[in-house]
Every structure is written in structure tokens, then in C-alpha cells.
Structure 1
Amino acid sequence: MKSPLIIDYYTDVLCVWAWIAQRRVDELNHQLGENIEIRYHYMDIFGDVHNKINTQWQQKGKFEGFAKHVLKAASDYENAPVNADIWKSSKPTTSATSHQYLKAVELAYDANKSIDMALKFRQAFFIDALDISDVNVLNTLIEQAGLDIGIVNKTIADGRALAALMNNYQVAKQLSLQGSPSYIIDNGRQTLFGNVGYRVLLANVEERLKRPSNEASWC
């Protein structure tokens, strides 16, 4: 049986464009099934939220301006609902806490459990306006998912989860990724990033599936 096409998928859990992309990635998995393998990784976009907003959005309303931007960005996508309170009453300090816990779940259980948990974290923030930089919030979400928080926290206590996260961050920098989400297709033969439409994403992946791995794609 032919090996699946590898798609390395880099996101930040607080990024609205990754939240919008969630439905597209789900559909891609549904359409192509065993022909592809999406490997989830994390990148540092919102590692220091307050510094990011207070500098990059200083002249544009800071948190209030950024909140309006996020709501407007998501308004055209019915599958990406956004709570009006995010970046207003709900202001996570960092995405790194969530990322570390997701790597911890992956180490304690497996990649699929971590992928499921990532969706729950995103839903908690974008739909329920919970602060997913808060360890107590994350512990509750993990327990509600039926996972053993003690086993998960063990991989944090011994440093393995943080090491795995740092590897993700370092590779993202080495690849010079320009934004979240980023799709690295077929070991770097193609890179797509940002608000890529589903048909564009599907066409690029199908093109790679048609061509042998030792032949450059014309896309």
C-alpha cells in the first residue's frame, strides 16, 4: 500500500485563522482519508500576548481594536463562531500554556487524543471565551475529556512536554514559516500559509498525490 502524503500542519491555538481553517482540515481528512497524514505542530504567534497587542496594535486600538479585527475576520465563516467577549473580558496571556499541555497529552496518550484536545481548547476560547492560558482551565478541560490529568501533568513535571514544544517552535523558525496556519506538504515540497481556501488546499494536495515524490510539483 502506498504511504500517505505527509502534511505538517503548524498553528497557534489563539489564532483566528487557524480556528477558521479547522473546518477545512476536517473536510480534507474526510475527503482524502488514508491518502494523507496530517501531523499537528505548534508555533509561537501569541507567546507573549500583551506585548504583541500593545506594540503591533498600539495605533489600532490595542485589545479593543484587535477584538474587532478578530470578530470581523470570522464573521464570514459560519463554521467558525466567535464569542464577542474574546480579547475583551477574556485575554489569555500566552498560547504557550495550551501548546505545552497539548504536547503533554500527545506524550501521555497519543497524537489523536492531542488533536481532539486542541479542538476542545479552541472551542473553549473562541466559543466560550475561557482563558486557555490558565492552567486551572486547561486541567478542567482535560478532565472533562475523560483523560487522567495526573498522567498528563507528569510529562510537564519532567520537562518532556516543554522539550517537545520547543522542538516545534524551533522547527517552525528554521522553516521560516510566515503565519498560522501553515501547511508543509510532502516534506517541504510545498508550503501554504494563512487563509487558504478549501478548494485551493485540496487542489494542491491532490496535485502532490498524483505526482511521484521525486518530481517537483508545478503548482
Structure 2
Amino acid sequence: MKSPLIIDYYTDILCVWAWIAQRRVDELNNQLGDRIEIRYHYMDIFGDVHNKINTQWQEKGRFEGFAKHVINAASDYENAPVNTEIWQHSKPTTSATSHQYLKAVELAYDRNKSIEIALKFRQAFFIDGLDISDINVLNTLLEQAGLDIEIIHNTISDGSALAALMNNYQTAKQLSLKGSPSYIIDNGRQTLFGNVGYRVLLANVEERLKRPSNEASWC
């Protein structure tokens, strides 16, 4: 059986474009099944939220302006609902807390469970308006999902979850990724990033599936 095409998928959990892309990634999995394998990784876009907003959005209304931007960005996508009070009622300080917990879940359970919890974290932020930089909020979400908090915390306490996260961050920098979400297709043979439409994403993946992975360059 032919090995699946690897898609390394990098996002920041607080990124609205990654939230919008969620439905596209799900559909890609549904459409192509075992012909592809999407590997989820995290990158540092909102590692220091307040510094980011107070510098990059200083002249555009800071949190209020950024909130309007997020709501407007998602308004055309019915599959990416956004709380009208987003970035107003609660202001997460960092995405790194959630990223570390997701790596902890991956180590304590498996990759699929981490992907499942990542969706729950995103829903908690974008729909419910919860502060997913708060470990108490994250612990509650994990408990509601029926996970064993102790074994997850063990991978945080011994540093292994943080090490796995740092590996993601460092790899994203080495790849010079430009934004979230980023799709690295077939071990770097193609890179897509940002608000890539589903048909464009599907066409690029299907084209790569048609080509042998050992195809020689003409150059």
C-alpha cells in the first residue's frame, strides 16, 4: 500500500484564520481519507498577546480594533462562528499555555486525542469567549472531556511537553513560515499559508498525490 502524503500543518490556536481553516482541514481529511496524513504542529504568533496588540495595533484601536478585525474576518464563514465579545470580555495573555497542554495530551494519550482537544480549546475561545491562556480553564475543559489530568500534568512537570512545543516553534522558524495556518506538503516540496480556499488546497494536494515523491528536478 502506498504511503500517505504528509501534510505538516502549523497553526497558532488563537489565530482566527486557523479557526476559519478548521472546516477546510476536516473536509480535506474526509475527502482524501488515508491518502493523506495531516500532522498538527504549533507556532508562535500569539506568544505575547499584549505586546503584539499594543505594538502592531497601537494605531488601530488596540484590543477593540483587533476584536473588530477578527469578527469581520470570520463574518463570511458560517462554519467559523465568533463570539461578539471576543478579545473584549477575556483577553488571553498567550497561546503558549494551550499549545503546551496540547503537546501534553499528545504525549499522555496520542496525536488524535490532542487534535480532538485542540478543537475543544478553539471552540472554547472563539465561540464561548473563554480565556484559554488560563490553566484553570484548560483543566476544566480537559476534565469535561473525560481526560486524566494527573497523567497530562506529569508530562508538563517533567518538561517533556514543553520540549515538544519548543521543537515545533524552532522548526517553524527554521522553515521561515510566514503565518498561521501554514501547510507544508510532502516534506517541504510545497508550502501554502494563510487564508487558502478549500478548492485551492485540495487542488494542490491532489496534484502532489499524482506525482511520485522521488520525482527528479529538471534544474
TM score, norm. by length of structure 2: 0.98
**Residue of structure 2 in register with 1:214 after alignment:** 214
CA distance in 2, matches of 1:216, 1:22: 33
In structure 2, distance between residues paired with 1:83 and 1:40:
25
Q: Kindly state the Cα deviation for residue 215 of structure 1 after the two structures are TM-superposed.
A: 2.1
> What corresponds to 2:111 in structure 1?
111
C-alpha distance in 2, partners of 1:88/1:17? 19
Deviation at 1:90, TM superposition (A): 1.3
Using the TM superposition, give the Cα deviation of residue 216 of structure 1 relative to its aligned residue in structure 2, in angstroms.
Answer: 6.4
Query: Which amino acid is 1:96 matched to?
Result: A
Equivalent-residue separation in structure 1 for 2:217 and 2:95 (angstroms):
35
Establish whether residue 69 from structure 1 lines up as the match of residue 69 from structure 2: yes
**SS at the partner of 2:93?**
coil
SS of residue paired to 1:196: coil
Corresponding residue number in structure 2 for 1:93: 93
User: Alpha-carbon deviations, 1:158-204, whole Å to 9, x = none?
Assistant: 00000000000000000000000000000000000000000000000
Question: What is the CA RMSD across the aligned residues, in angstroms?
Answer: 1.1
- Name the structure 2 match of 1:195: 195
Aligned to 1:128: 128
> Which residue identity is paired with 2:71?
L
CA distance in 1, matches of 2:216, 2:23: 29
Aligned residue type for 1:140: T
Q: Which amino acid aligns with 1:137?
A: V
In the TM superposition, residue 12 of structure 1 has moved relative to its aligned partner by 0.3
- In 2, Cα distance between equivalents of 1:127 and 1:154: 30
Deviation at 1:214?
1.8
The Cα shift of 1:209 comes to: 0.3
In the other structure, the counterpart of 2:45 is 45
Q: TM-score, normalised by structure 1?
A: 0.98
Counterpart residue type for residue 97 of structure 2? T
Q: In structure 2, how many angstroms separate the alpha carbons of the residues matched to 1:120 and 1:58?
A: 31
Distance in 2 (alpha carbons) for counterparts of 1:189 and 1:181:
17
Instruction: Decide whether aligned partners of structure 1 residues 137 and 187 sit closer, same or farther in structure 2, where only a CA change above 3 A counts.
Output: same
Tell me how far apart the structure 1 counterparts of residues 90 and 217 of structure 2 sit (CA, whole Å). 44
* Structure 2 counterpart of 1:35: 35
> Counterpart in 2 of 1:23?
23
3-state DSSP class of the match of 1:77?
A: coil
Is residue 57 from structure 1 mapped to residue 57 from structure 2 by the alignment? Answer: yes
Structure 1, unaligned runs of 5 or more: none
Instruction: Give unmatched runs, 5+ long, in structure 2.
Output: none
% identical equivalent positions: 88
Deviation sequence 1:71-111 (CA, Å, 0-9, x none) = 00000000000001111111000000000000000000000
Aligned residues: 218
* Amino acid across the alignment from 2:129: A
Match of 1:149 in 2: 149
Distance 1:190 1:217 in 2: 14
Q: For residues 135 and 38 of structure 1, what CA distance do their matches in structure 2 show?
A: 27
Q: Structure 1 residues 214 and 87, CA, compared in 2 at 3 Å: closer, same or farther?
A: same
Q: Which amino acid aligns with 2:68?
A: K
Deviations 1:35-85 (A, max 9, x none): 000000000000000000000000000000000000000000000000011
Pairwise CA distance, 1:217 = 8.9
